[in-house]
Chain A
Amino acid sequence: MFAVVIVLLVSNSPGWPEVKQQFFNREFFRESLHTVPKAFLLNVKIFLVAEIFILAFALVIAVMRGLPGPVFFPLRALAVVYADLFRGVPTILVIYLLGFGVPALQLSGVPTGELFWGTAALVLVYSAYVSEVYRAGIESVHPSQSAAARSLGLSHLKTLRFVIIPQAVRRVIPPLLNDFIGLQKDTALVALLGPVEAFRQAQIDVAEDFNYTPYLVAALLFILLTIPLARFTDWLVVRDRRRQLALGGVR
Chain B
Amino acid sequence: MRKQFVFAFLVAILALAAAACGSDEQSADTTAAGGGTGTTAADPCAKDQLTLKTPGQLTIGTDNPAFPPWFQDAKGGPWNPTKEPTKMGYEAAVAYAVAEGLGFTDDEVTWVVVPFNNIFKPGATDFDFDINQVSFSEKRAQAVDFSDSYYDVEQAVVVDKSSNYAQATSLADLKEAKLGAQIGTTSYDAILDTIQPSQQPNVYNSNDDAIRALKNGNIDGIVVDYPTSLYVTAVQAPNTVAVGRLPSAGQEYFGLVFEKDDPLRECVNQVIAKLRSDGTLDQFAQKWIEGSAPPILK
Are A and B associated in one complex? yes
Chain A residues within 8 Å of B, Cβ to Cβ: 1-2, 5, 8-9, 12-15, 18, 22, 100, 103-104, 112-114, 191-196, 200, 203-204, 207-210
Q: Which 7 pairs between the two chains have the least Cβ-Cβ distance?
A: A207-B184, A194-B202, A9-B15, A103-B216, A210-B143, A14-B22, A12-B19
Contacts A1-B8, A196-B202 known; list 13 others, CB within 8 Å. Answer: A5-B8, A8-B12, A9-B15, A13-B22, A14-B26, A194-B180, A194-B209, A194-B218, A195-B202, A210-B121, A210-B122, A210-B142, A210-B143
The CB with the most chain A CB atoms within 10 A, among B15, B23, B143, is that of B15
B213 neighbours in A (Cβ, 8 Å)? 100, 114, 193-194
A114 neighbours in B (Cβ, 8 Å)? 202, 213, 218
Complex contact B200–A196 (CB within 8 A): yes
B184 neighbours in A (Cβ, 8 Å)? 203-204, 207-208
Complex contact B202–A9 (CB within 8 A): no
| Whole-angstrom distance between the Cβ of B118 and the nearest chain A Cβ | 11
A207 neighbours in B (Cβ, 8 Å)? 117, 120, 183-184
Judge whether B76 is part of the interface by a CB distance below 8 angstroms: no
Complex contact A104–B142 (CB within 8 A): no
| Whole-angstrom distance between the Cβ of B191 and the nearest chain A Cβ | 12
Chain B residues within 8 Å of A, Cβ to Cβ: 4, 8, 11-12, 15-16, 18-19, 22-23, 25-26, 117, 120-122, 139-140, 142-143, 180, 183-184, 188, 200, 202-205, 209-210, 212-213, 215-219
Given contacts A193-B213, A210-B140, A204 and B183 within 8 Å (CB-CB): yes
Complex contact A204–B188 (CB within 8 A): yes
Tell me how many residue pairs across A and B have CB atoms closer than 8 Å.
86
| A200 to B186 alpha-carbon distance, docked (Å) | 16
The CB with the most chain B CB atoms within 10 A, among A9, A104, A194, is that of A194
The CB with the most chain B CB atoms within 10 A, among A191, A195, A210, is that of A210
What's the dominant secondary structure at chain A's contact region? helix
A210 — nearest CB in chain B belongs to which residue?
A: B143
| A203 to B118 alpha-carbon distance, docked (Å) | 12
Complex contact A100–B216 (CB within 8 A): yes
| A9 to B209 alpha-carbon distance, docked (Å) | 42
The CB with the most chain A CB atoms within 10 A, among B8, B15, B203, B209, is that of B203
Indicate which residue in B18, B23, B122, B203 contacts A196 across the interface (CB closer than 8 Å). Answer: B203
Given contacts A12-B19, A14-B23, A200-B203, A210 and B139 within 8 Å (CB-CB): yes
A18 neighbours in B (Cβ, 8 Å)? 122
| Whole-angstrom distance between the Cβ of B117 and the nearest chain A Cβ | 6
B210 neighbours in A (Cβ, 8 Å)? 194
| Whole-angstrom distance between the Cβ of B262 and the nearest chain A Cβ | 17
Given contacts A8-B12, A12-B19, A196-B202, A208 and B139 within 8 Å (CB-CB): yes
Indicate which residue in B18, B121, B219 contacts A9 across the interface (CB closer than 8 Å). Answer: B18
| A2 to B4 alpha-carbon distance, docked (Å) | 10
Given contacts A114-B218, A203-B183, A209-B139, A9 and B19 within 8 Å (CB-CB): yes
| A13 to B12 alpha-carbon distance, docked (Å) | 13
Given contacts A103-B216, A112-B218, A207-B183, A191 and B203 within 8 Å (CB-CB): yes
B117 neighbours in A (Cβ, 8 Å)? 207
Given contacts A200-B203, A204-B184, A194 and B219 within 8 Å (CB-CB): yes
| A1 to B180 alpha-carbon distance, docked (Å) | 50
Complex contact A5–B12 (CB within 8 A): yes
A204 neighbours in B (Cβ, 8 Å)? 183-184, 188, 203
Complex contact A100–B139 (CB within 8 A): no
| Whole-angstrom distance between the Cβ of B232 and the nearest chain A Cβ | 17
A191 neighbours in B (Cβ, 8 Å)? 203
B16 neighbours in A (Cβ, 8 Å)? 12
A194 — nearest CB in chain B belongs to which residue?
A: B202
B205 neighbours in A (Cβ, 8 Å)? 192
| Whole-angstrom distance between the Cβ of A212 and the nearest chain B Cβ | 10
User: Could you list 19 examples of A-B contacts with CB < 8 Å?
Assistant: A5-B15, A9-B18, A12-B16, A15-B22, A100-B209, A104-B212, A104-B215, A112-B218, A191-B203, A194-B202, A194-B219, A200-B203, A204-B188, A204-B203, A207-B120, A209-B139, A210-B121, A210-B139, A210-B142
